[in-house]
Chain A
Amino acid sequence: ETGVTQTPRHLVMGMTNKKSLKCEQHLGHNAMYWYKQSAKKPLELMFVYNFKEQTENNSVPSRFSPECPNSSHLFLHLHTLQPEDSALYLCASSQAGQGNEQFFGPGTRLTVL
């Protein structure tokens, strides 16, 4: 295991639902990330948090709302999603600083009906 856990592993939701994805890292890292992985596309960085402060919002629609209450936990709140938002959402963590690898969780497979 990589030390990064994500729940739930699978989620099916309607377009009017509100749900949250949770990520927790047990590695003592101070940077956390949300990525979106769609079929046949490179990993897309969505949000970055360094020391609980959001340092990157990669033009993500407002229907995705991140929250980082502390350096070990990261949430992604979802509401009024679209079917094209269906994807694998990956959380990662790293020790902030140049040239440090990111450790990934197993991902949440999201399907929007």
Chain B
Amino acid sequence: GESVGLHLPTLSVQEGDNSIINCAYSNSASDYFIWYKQESGKGPQFIIDIRSNMDKRQGQRVTVLLNKTVKHLSLQIAATQPGDSAVYFCAETGGSNYKLTFGKGTLLTVNP
């Protein structure tokens, strides 16, 4: 069935290192993907998105890569900072006009 899942539930990195968070999806109709960040006690916050006609998109310190061939999405965070510690979710629309399907989430911990 349709699913969006994360390869690793936890990731621990040193401050200043680069972080990579991965996500797999199974719905080939997915054409829009989002990464959200959720800090403790807060709702998910938009980080970056990408449409299926692209394979890479860059933001401020973040890059999202999309590999449609293997249905894989990744979020790269450059020079990870303690403020980046949070749970990161990928989400995809699966061709829907309004629904998002979320992955389980990866907990990123940044060690000073």
- Determine if B65 is an interface residue (Cβ-Cβ < 8 Å): no
Q: Which residues of A contact B (CB under 8 A)?
A: 2, 4, 31, 40-43, 45, 48, 50, 55-56, 90, 92, 94, 96-107
CB pair B42 A106 closer than 8 Å: yes
What residues of chain B lie closer than 8 Å to A106, measured between beta carbons? 41-43
Of B32, B42, B95, B98, chain A has the most CB atoms within 10 Å of the CB of B98
Q: Do A2 and B45 touch (CB < 8 A)?
A: yes
Report the bound CA distance from A2 to B45 in whole Å.
Answer: 8
Give chain A's interface secondary structure class. loop
Of B12-20, B73-81, B101-109, which binds chain A?
A: B101-109
Shortest CB–CB separation between residue A62 and chain B, in angstroms? 22
Complex Cα distance, B43 from A31, in Å, reads 17
Q: Is the CB of A42 within 8 A of B104?
A: yes
- From 76 to 103 in chain B, residues with beta carbon under 8 angstroms from any chain A beta carbon are 89, 93, 95-103
Which B residues are CB-close (under 8 A) to A55?
98
Which of A4, A97, A98, A107 has the most C-beta atoms of chain B within 10 angstroms of its own C-beta? A98
Contact of B99 among A40, A42, A45, A97 (CB under 8 A): A45
Q: List 22 A-B contacts (CB under 8 A).
A: A4-B43, A31-B98, A41-B104, A42-B4, A42-B89, A42-B102, A42-B103, A42-B105, A45-B100, A48-B99, A50-B98, A96-B98, A97-B97, A98-B31, A99-B49, A100-B98, A101-B46, A104-B43, A105-B43, A106-B42, A106-B43, A107-B42
